[in-house]
Amino acid sequence: MPTEIDPEKTSRAAAFELWMNAPNPMVTFFKKIDVTPLVKVAGKRRMKFNMLLMHCVGKAAAGIKEFYLLPVGYRLMRYDTLAVNTIVKTKDGGVASCDILYTDDLERFDRDYLKYTAEVAESGRDRDLSADSMVIGTSAIIETEIDGAVGMNSGIFNNPFLIWGRYKKRFFRSYLTVSFQFHHTQMDGAHAGRFLENLQNEIDRMK
C-alpha cells in the first residue's frame, strides 16, 4: 500500500511547492532508441516485442527512487512496487487498460503479461493496480511510425507515461522514437534523462 509522506522531508520539497499548482506541470522528452536487441530476442525466444520493451521500462525505472513517488491529488505518495501499464484491444473492438506488476524475472513478467492482457481483451474490463503500485503508463501505436507524441495534462492522471509507434528499420538496425511524459513534482529532467539512458542500457543487455 502507498504511504503519504511529507514533501518537506523529501528531496522533492521545492518541486512540490513549485509545480503542484502549475497550470501545466507535465514535461515531455523525446528520444530515439536502438531496439535491435529486442527485435532479435522477440524472434529467437518467441516473445512479444511490446512485453520485452515494457519489462525494460520497469527495469530502467526500478533503480531510480523518484519513480516510487507520485503526486496524487495534493498529496505526495510513496509506493513500494512498480507496475507497467499497456493498452489492450478488446474483443468488442474497444480498448482497456492492463497493469502488469514489475518483476525483474523476465519469464514471470512474460507469463503475467500474456495471462492478464488475454483476460482484459476477453472481459473488456481494466486491470488496475494503482491502489498498490506506482504505475508507468505506456501506449504502443503500432499501426504507424510516429516521431513523437505529447500526452494530456488531465490534472488527475499524474503518472509517468511513454508512447511509441512502429519501430523503423535502418540497414541492419531497428530504431524506435519514444516520448516520455512525467510530472515535474515527481522528478526533474536529470532523473528523466537517466531513466531514458537506463532504458537503452537495459535494451542493450537483453539476450
The whole-number pLDDT of residue 8 equals 95
**pTM for this structure?**
0.95
Distance CA(25)–CA(178), nearest Å, equals 20
Cell reading at 9: 522531508
* Residue ranges, the chain, pLDDT below 70: none
Sign of CA dihedral 195, 196, 202, 206: positive
**Long-range Cβ pairs for the range 188-191 (8 Å, 24+):** 188/15, 189/27, 189/29, 191/64, 191/66
CA distances from 118 to 52, 139, 183 (A): 17, 17, 31
At which residue does the C-alpha cell 488496475 appear?
A: 128
Distance CA(189)–CA(163), nearest Å, equals 18
The whole-number pLDDT of residue 68 equals 98
Cα first-last separation, the chain: 33
Q: Which domains does the chain have, with CATH numbers?
A: 3-7+28-80+130-205 (3.30.559.10)
Each residue's pLDDT tens digit, 109-119:
999 999 999 99
